[in-house]
Amino acid sequence: MPIHLYWGDDEAARSRAVDGLVGQLVDPAWASINLSRLDGNDTSQALQALEEARTPPFGAGARLVLLQRSPFCSPGPAELAERLEASLTLIPETCHLVLVSPGKPDARLRSTKALRKVAEEKSFLLPAIWDGAGQVDLVQRTAAELSLRLEPAAAEALAEAIGSDSARLASELEKLALHATASESGSPAPITAAAVEALVGGRSTSALAVGDALLAGQGAEAIARADALLAANEPALRIVAALTSQIRGWLWVSLLEQQGEQDTAVVAKAAGIANPKRIYVMRKQLRGRRPGQLLTLLTQVLEVEAALKRGAEPGEAFRDGFLVPGTAA
């Protein structure tokens, strides 16, 4: 049955998938009649989507009904769920109902269970800011969607420069594709790390990246990343709060590791980390480091906070705090 359930916070990838489906199914000459774009925040439009999806297309091609912010997989009025379930068996093969939502479908709902029995479901999720491997994978997947080839070093360079900004990533890849010279076979050459450095430049950064640099003993790198955040109008005390939370999390993980605790769910709960998968990344980061070193980092960040609250200029506060030599314990 032609029902499509698209969800996830990667809006750019979701939009590309929807556009691809429209291009594949809807005849451009009949698009004004056979293509509907509706908003599920309006209950009347959600019900209208169900009605239109049951109406056969006119002329050539299929009918496609797109419902953004679909309410059918989240708690809501019982009427919506009932109307959805009654409509599922009435949608003809020449019609496609596309339900799009940024949130994960609530698996407990009867409507979600009914949809999953008949729908093609695709998730579009952005990697977390701490998930470097996930960001590289995002670059590679996006390049594959755009039929582009990347050298491994280029994928890593793009992940470093852009992070999880999926919309900018697609734009930069298209720009790099135009720059890539044709090979002897006539197909575009792979995108190189040198091209990324020349055309994209810069780097994505966050308070977590500042903390990573501190953990690696790279004080100058941490200052440069903090300066970049300040230049982007990130509040200094918000950076400090994120760093404090990050380092306390590391400290909890390190202490529990010393006690022999191996259950990632237990460690995540004690450290106040919502996603247990992050524990694997943190354990890798902390390999060979002792709790005393983390306490030193925490002291440095608290010194920065104290300086800010005494009225110090933010850039100077971070430079003074991060360049203070710590004693490894």
Residue holding tokens 């190189």? 192
Other C-beta atoms closer than 10 Å to the C-beta of 79 total 11
**What is the pTM assigned to this prediction?**
0.65
Residue-level pLDDT at 205: 65
Edge-to-edge strand list for the sheet holding 3-7: 35-39, 63-68, 95-101, 3-7, 120-123
Q: Which residues of the chain register pLDDT less than 50?
A: 182-185, 326-329
Residue-level pLDDT at 212: 87
Residue-level pLDDT at 102: 92
Choices 3.40.1390.10, 2.60.40.1080, 1.20.272.10, 1.20.59.20: CATH for 207-323: 1.20.272.10
Residue-level pLDDT at 295: 92
Third-level CATH fold of 3-123: Rossmann fold (3.40.50)
pLDDT tens-place string over residues 193-235 = 888 877 886 555 678 888 888 998 888 889 988 998 888 788 9
Residue-level pLDDT at 22: 96
Residue-level pLDDT at 317: 93
Q: Is the dihedral of CA 116, 117, 119, 122 positive or negative?
A: positive
Residue-level pLDDT at 133: 82
- Tell me how far apart the alpha carbons of residues 294 and 25 are, in angstroms, rounded to a whole number: 56
As its CATH architecture, domain 132-199 has: Orthogonal Bundle (1.10)
pLDDT tens-place string over residues 8-60 = 999 999 999 999 999 999 999 999 999 999 999 999 999 999 999 999 999 99
One-letter identity of residue 247: I
What is the domain partition of the chain in residue ranges? 3-123, 132-199, 207-323
